[in-house]
Amino acid sequence: MTKERVALVTGGSRGLGRAISVRLAKDHGYHVLVNYSSSPKAANEVVEEIVANGGSAETIGFNVSDRASVTEVLKAWTDANPESNIEVIVNNAGITKDGLFMVMPDADWDDVLGVSLGGFYNVTHALVDRMIRKRFGRIVNVVSVSGMMGNAGQVNYSAAKAGIIGATKALAKEIARRNVTVNAVAPGFIETDMTKDFDQKEMARMIPMHRFGKPEEVAAAVSFLVSKDASYITGNVININGGLYC
């Protein structure tokens, strides 16, 4: 399996990241860099799943909010793989630290924005120049329904995701003529570790489809956005929320 065509998925060791990593390898034959920050075992399990299905993948560890680490690790990888080209970035890494804004600790604000919004900058900024020079790239940012409509108790998370939405639209305009697209997917309530403690039966009542989504349904949208069929789509946000927000 060639490593020439590479996709990087941040936060790829679990939940949405895991489903996206598996789907990109299956649908497009990408060598997938499964990023993790604190769970190498889970990341290795994703790699094993991809390889078992005939694909190619490896883990790559860094905290997306640590700019120096991101730069160092990605440079080391690209230097060691000069024939490879990271042509897809999926900025999926994110955390929540929910609480009312009036009593929110500074660290909860800084940490959530640092991972989501800072992570988008750190990873994309480190790789986008090569995409521009190669005149091809696909950047997909995983945002949230919270960034579209806001959510009480999630001012930090909503702000981070809304910021990425704005960045998606602006960056798309800057680099569209270089055949690099920038889009986002905005999941609603999806069955992942982030929602495992939610009362699904109760919360599903406010969703028109009366159910939570599956990680694979988000992965399918990401797969489409990196495909040739989506080559004229950029600066857009695809809502994946069962009709919760349209």
Q: Which letter, b or e, does each residue of 14-50 get, where b requires 16 or more Cβ atoms within 10 Å of its Cβ? A: bbbbbbbbbbbbbebebbbbbbbbeeeebbbbbbebb
Active site residue 36: no
Cβ(246)–Cβ(207) below 8 Å: no
Cβ proximity of 56 and 50 under 8 Å: yes
Residue among 184, 70, 171 at smallest CA distance from 127: 70
CA–CA separation, 117 vs 127, rounded Å? 16
Contact predicate 88/8, CB 8 Å: yes
- For the CA atoms of 150, 152, 154, 155, the dihedral, rounded to the nearest 10 degrees, stands at 70
Backbone angles phi, psi at 185, to 5 degrees: -120, 140
Q: What type of residue is 116?
A: S
- What is the three-class DSSP state of 45? helix
Catalytic residue among 121, 157, 232, 245: 157
Residues 44, 58: Cα–Cα separation, whole Å: 8
Q: Which helix (H) or strand (E) holds 118?
A: none
Q: Among all residues, which ones are annotated catalytic?
A: 157
